[in-house]
Amino acid sequence: MALTKIKTGGLTDGSVTAAKLAAGVSTGGGTDWQPTIQTSNFTAAAGKGYFVNTTSGVITVTLPSGSTGDEIHLTDYASTFDTNEIRFSASGGQKIQGSTNTLRSIVENNTIRLVYQDNTSGWTGNDLVNLAVQVEYLVIAGGGGAAGGHQAGGGGAGGYRNSYASEPSGGGGSTETPLSASIGVNISLTVGAGGSGGPAVSSQQGSANKGGDGGNSVFGSIISIGGGGSASYNNGYPNNIGRPGGSGGGAGAYNGSVAASTRAAGTANQGYAGGGGDGYASPYGGAGGGGAGAVGSDSGGAGLIGNGGVGLQSSITGTAVFRGGGGGGATWGSNSTGQGGNGGGGNADTQYTGSAGVSAATAGSPNTGGGGGGPAWHSTVGGAGGSGVVILRYSDDYTIQETTSPAVLTFSTDSTSVANTKITTFTAGENGTIQFII
């Protein structure tokens, strides 16, 4: 559409359109409306008005250095600001509404009036909000450690929360909603450490010793709970119950135990309960730790082996990977022992694979939130839980920067595996902060 330059006054009600101006509808003197429809990024000038067509995509308007009272007007030519937003960035160290952040408007049919106030406030206008990026996430907490000592259960997997595609969260939870992150605003981030393995004990009866809980993982408002530590054979119920957590820790073997009353709880929509102690008979074993995808197996009597609960599979990185497996429970009277759940759970040992003071139990795998494997001997320590992980997937229009000082986070970004997408994986660090920037 060819337009003739027409000067107008302040436009604040959204009623002025290109068609009206072309037809000669005047709204007073003051603004020099430009006849060219803007269809790509451009730099605006003070005193001018622009018709902006975002039909083909987002448009960024660079605002000039201003003087007090300068005005710029822009209007939604094709009624598409709600689908393809208009963005504003300031040049030369100038500010927009007191900030150096890029702002946006997503209001359909909007007419935006920008007024320059001073160097503190800069350009101010109607319906401008912080730019936001939609972030899909997989947030897994640290796995629980296994108790030290005799016939210990496996540690519970770290809590598992997922918003990618249609993949589930742990404990039977549904896919969550991606996080809307404002550009240039700090977001808290922590990768939960694995729980410590419990100490060795001096006798088979032991004590109330339990494995350490895994650390929580955090991405803004998304908090995944650390896996629960497991219990071992000791002085009796309820000391043989594992600890609750993202997924619960496995119970230790004990005479008279009832499985249903010794299963340590998982956290809703994050992980499952640990396995329970089912009496005390061959193979005399601890129960499996709970996993993101299943309850840990009961153990103790009737030939039951305490395998860790299975984890869940996610393709958020572009490759399908299992994470969040529970640790295996240890047996005494069999050369078969609890296996860690698929997803990084550690394997337990038996009296045939370990020996007094030397445990063959394995730790949960790093950056899976897997639970630690249980030891069979009273004089050995439990397997530690695996550390958690935070994986973020977002548009390659944006970049993540750490804003913690000094830096505490360990992370890497892949921008090649998935088209138009960046995937940032955080593998370590506590109490950090990040920002998304353009």
Task: List, for residues 352-404, the tens digit of each pLDDT value.
Answer: 888 888 889 999 999 999 999 999 988 899 999 999 999 999 999 899 999 99
- pLDDT digit string (tens) for 150-168? 899 999 999 999 999 999 9
Q: Within 10 A of 208 (CB to CB), how many other CB atoms are there? A: 14
Mean per-residue pLDDT, 285-290:
96
- pLDDT digit string (tens) for 116-159? 999 999 999 999 988 889 999 999 999 999 999 889 999 999 99
Q: What is the mean pLDDT of the chain?
A: 90
Strands 42-43 and 389-395: unpaired
User: In the structure, what pLDDT confidence band is assigned to residue 26 with cuts at 50, 70 and 90?
Assistant: very low
- pLDDT digit string (tens) for 44-91? 999 999 999 999 999 999 999 999 999 999 999 999 999 999 999 988
Q: 422 pairs with which residues across the strands?
A: 394
Exposure string of 35-62, with b = 16+ CB inside 10 Å and e = fewer, is eeebbeeeebebebbbbbbbeeeebbbe
Return d(Cα 131, Cα 116) in angstroms, integer.
20
In the structure encoding, which two tokens stand for residue 370, read together? 């897997």
Note whether 9 and 28 are within 8 A (CB): yes
